[in-house]
Structure 1
Amino acid sequence: METSLQSSTPLPAAARRGFGIYIHWPFCLKKCPYCDFNSHVREEVSQERWRTALLQELDHYAELLKNKGGEGRIVSSIFFGGGTPSLMAPQTAGALIDRIRQHWPARNDLEITLEANPTSVEAGKFAAFAQAGINRVSLGIQSLNDEDLRFLGREHSAQEALKAIDIARKNFDRFSFDLIYARPEQDKQVWTQELEQALAEGTEHLSLYQLTIEENTAFHGARRRGELTELNPDKAAELYDLTNEIMEKKGLLNYEISNYARSGQESRHNLTYWKYGDYIGIGPGAHGRLTLSDGSPLGTKMATRQHRAPEIWLDTVEQAGHATRTYSTVSIAERFEEMMMMGLRLEEGISLKAISEETGDDFTNRIDHSRLKQLCDEQLLVLSDDKIRATPSGRTRLNSLLSYLLT
């Protein structure tokens, strides 16, 4: 039986679509050349100070929700991201999980995910994380080819990656791992072999990302200097189609642009983002979305953002009890746009009822009908009586599609 909590004020629709807690651990052993995440290399990290500060910020948000119409929630997922949160002491993860359970009731099937890199995976440490309450792990494998791992700036070998997968399999009921493809000069045969090797490991969830060059990364500088040439976009598109074909044959469906899973094995935490549910974000640079009951049917949606710099974040929490840099109200128009940007990533699309519950208006009243018709005629979007969704072709060009549709 699922835990429930009575509230005098009905929860806004977003809060009923899921309530996740994201905890950001900003430290890595090394900064990867493709990474633009808020991650930092430090020689020494005080586990005790960071544990205390993360608990303080968690307490701050629990009090905020209690005082501002945010009661009645049930936690559906916890996600330790980074950075490399497997560098965190298992005791820290356990303390945070325990504190979350003290503040809120949780679903009986609460999903608690830890991101990990093979270089920080030890059998004993994974057993300790499982004992602390982690029940799902996501491994940053990125490649099963040693030459490509060196190109990607990874610290582990292919053999170490396979060992980490084996340790994860023995310690957790659910595990996933990431691979990066469409690497320079990668061809169909090489990618097919690597993908089939990955599938042979028995995971029921894979995250498969095409290599993209982000600003302010080492790869961005290398491309600017002419030292790196990306794979031809047409060849990258062919690899995407090949990936979908192979994964579908193996029973792992492309439920989100870069994510594949057997039915029931999707990342529940990430589904909260994509379905535009509510979530708290704590730790340096973490973002959050919280819909607060204000007496109106739609509630007030708040966007939160933490200080990015780890040391400033830590000092601020110790002095003020939290390090939230901004609280800003998300307008109804912005809520609609965010919901479209997130929900059209999903193969299932967005429920028109959910759009109405979030915005107080019908979907078709917020869209230029001629542009919508054009995108449907070009078989990039499909509009039915109950949902709007992007076709596989539409999802491959989602950014430009959204730019056109929402302008």
Structure 2
Amino acid sequence: MGALPEGNPWPESNRLATLREPDSFHAYVHIPFCEVRCGYCDFNTYTASELGEVSRSDFDSALISEIEFAANVLSESEIVPRQLSSVFFGGGTPSLMAGEQIHRILNQLSSKFGLAKDAEITLEANPESTSLELLEQLVSAGVNRISFGAQSFDPEVLSVLDRTHRPELLSPLVSYAKDLGLRTSIDLIYGAPGESIESWTATLDAAIALGTEHISAYSLIVEEGTKLATKIRRGLLADVDEDLNAQKHSLADQMFEAAGLRWYEVSNWGNPSVHNQAYWSSKNWWGFGPGAHSHINGNRFWNRKHPAAYQQALKTGSPAIGHEQIDELTHLTESIMLQLRTSEGLDRSVLSRAEVSASVVAKYLAEGKLTMEHNRIYVTKKGRLLVDGIALDLVSSIKA
């Protein structure tokens, strides 16, 4: 797991400055538990042997305490947040938590902040730890969207990724979730060593056949320190083939669009996730749980990573280990890096306010990798696979 960024200490006053006006409000809830750690995973997750005295059975109490702390901080800072437009339970494996724990957490969020009438409430689920009974409990708790971590429908690929679930579990779970009225999403990963175009095509066919309203497909990133990285370095597995990955992304885009799932971000297709869009647009969100990051009115802060350290810190105050205030140029450059990846594009004024070189913008327009309509800049299909490099080039051209 990567180190947290350096930052300033949490303010002793427990007050946050208002550097930008409040916007829509969202909550991320990090559930750090996993039965096993997948070989490619660099997320802030822990198996039972790594938790020490931390108990999964009462971990919701710590999260509820942080929600109360957050409400007090916002009150003391004279920041009046809007009702929550979205809540996202991520991890880790949130489906390892009992339905009643999720219910208690949502009740606390509703009590302290309020939930908008049409709030999107998502929970990530692993097929192996999700039952029909749990789905019923989640609906009763208030969850209205479920995101299943499928990753692949090829058992050999799942084995390379150290995924423990069986692909055949997905269809009955998705079907029952839809019967319960849940909105459904599937997460896929492409680019595992040894994954062929034929294998990826079969995974895409299987994912589309489930009839979910949203699919995310991410290119595998080999993170240093992971089991997968070690195997590749030792020559036990082939390295990721980026050219082949480009073909796989193009194939996914073609097949998803044919199935009626339109792209809205480089790695996402279908009915847009309100929560994802909040991140990409730098809205206000509070991240609850170990290692979770938050952004409130231009303040960014992040929590201690280990659940034991997180719980201990909550006993005396903030669990945050770092804090920074985002200046206007940082805000603009992050907007370029994130919003250019989306189908909504970027307001041209962001480029001019950041003083991005007009000649660099003109180059990408001339090459057909960017286009401009009604004072908004969009990445074209030709430029989509190169969008991160294009955005970095634009940011690098900003005058010092």
Q: Which residue of 2 aligns with 1:339?
A: 335
- Contact 1:57/1:321 (<8 A) preserved: no
Aligned to 1:393: 382
Q: 1:372 to 1:69 in 2, by over 3 A?
A: farther
Q: Out of 298, 302, 309, which is 1:305 matched to?
A: 302
Distance 2:172 2:162 in 1: 19
Q: 1:20 to 1:96 in 2, by over 3 A?
A: same
Structure 2 partner of 1:192: 201
How far does residue 106 in structure 1 lie from its aligned partner after superposition? 2.6
Partner of 2:283: 277
Amino acid at match of 2:345: G
When normalised by structure 1's length, the TM-score is 0.87
Deviations 1:104-133 (A, max 9, x none): 233211110001101111111121111111
User: 1:235 aligns to what?
Assistant: 244
5+ long unaligned stretches in structure 1: 1-10, 292-300, 356-361
What secondary structure, in the 3-state scheme, does the structure 2 residue paired with 1:127 have? helix
Aligned partners of 1:222 and 1:228 also within 8 Å:
yes
Separation in 2 of the partners of 1:225 and 1:196? 33
The TM-score with structure 2 as length reference comes to 0.88
* CA displacement at 1:231 relative to structure 2: 4.3
1:163 equivalent in structure 2: 172
Question: Offset of 1:186 from its aligned partner?
Answer: 3.1
1:57 aligns with 2:71: no
Matched to 1:324, the amino acid is A
> Which AA in structure 1 matches 2:209?
A
Contact 1:306 1:324 in 2 (8 A): yes
User: Alpha-carbon deviations, 1:166-222, whole Å to 9, x = none?
Assistant: 343333420111111233343333322321221111101011112221122111111
8 Å contact 2:121–2:142 — kept in the other structure? yes
Structure-2 change in CA distance of 1:14 and 1:269 (3 Å): farther
Aligned to 1:372, the other structure's residue is in SS state: helix
1:282 counterpart letter in structure 2: F
Alignment of 1:316 onto 2:305: no
What residue is the counterpart of 1:26 in the other structure?
32
For 2:237, the aligned partner's letter is L
Would the aligned equivalents of 2:333 and 2:354 in 1 still touch at CA under 8 Å?
no
Alignment counterpart, residue 182 of structure 1, candidates 188, 191, 202: 191
Hey, which bits of structure 1, 4+ residues long, moved more than 4 A? 11-14
Distance 1:201 1:233 in 2: 28
Counterparts of 2:257 and 2:19, CA distance in 1? 36
In 2 relative to 1, CA 85–380 (structure 1 residues): closer, same or farther, beyond 3 Å?
same
Q: Distance in 2 between matches of 1:68 and 1:205?
A: 37
Q: Which position in structure 2 is the counterpart of 1:137? A: 146
Could you tell me whether the CA contact under 8 Å between 1:290 and 1:302 is conserved in 2? yes
Where 1:40 maps in the other structure, the secondary structure is coil
Q: In the TM superposition, what are the counterparts of 1:31-42 in structure 2 within 5 Å?
A: 31-42=37-48
Secondary structure of residue in 2 paired with 1:320: coil
Mapped to 1, the partners of 2:321 and 2:166 lie a distance apart of: 39
What stretches of structure 2 of length at least 5 have no aligned partner? 1-17
Q: How does 1:193-232 map to 2 (within 5 A)?
A: 193-232=202-241
C-alpha contact 2:157 2:195 (8 A) present in aligned 1: no
Aligned to 2:79: 70
How far apart are the structure 2 equivalents of 1:105 and 1:153?
A: 39
Once structures 1 and 2 are overlaid, which stretch shifts more, 109-118 or 85-94?
85-94
Code of the residue aligned with 1:183 in structure 2: it is A
- CA–CA distance in structure 2, aligned partners of residues 335 and 118 of structure 1: 38
Indicate conservation of the 8 Å contact 2:30/2:292, yes or no.
yes
| Cα-Cα RMSD | 2.0
Moved more, 91-100 or 66-75: 66-75
Aligned residues: 376
Contact 1:289-1:304 at 8 Å conserved across structures: yes
Aligned residue for 2:221, secondary structure, equals: coil
- Tell whether the 8 Å contact from 1:14 to 1:278 is kept in structure 2 after alignment: no
The equivalent residue for 1:286 is 292
CA distance, structure 2, for counterparts of residue 64 and residue 350 of structure 1? 32
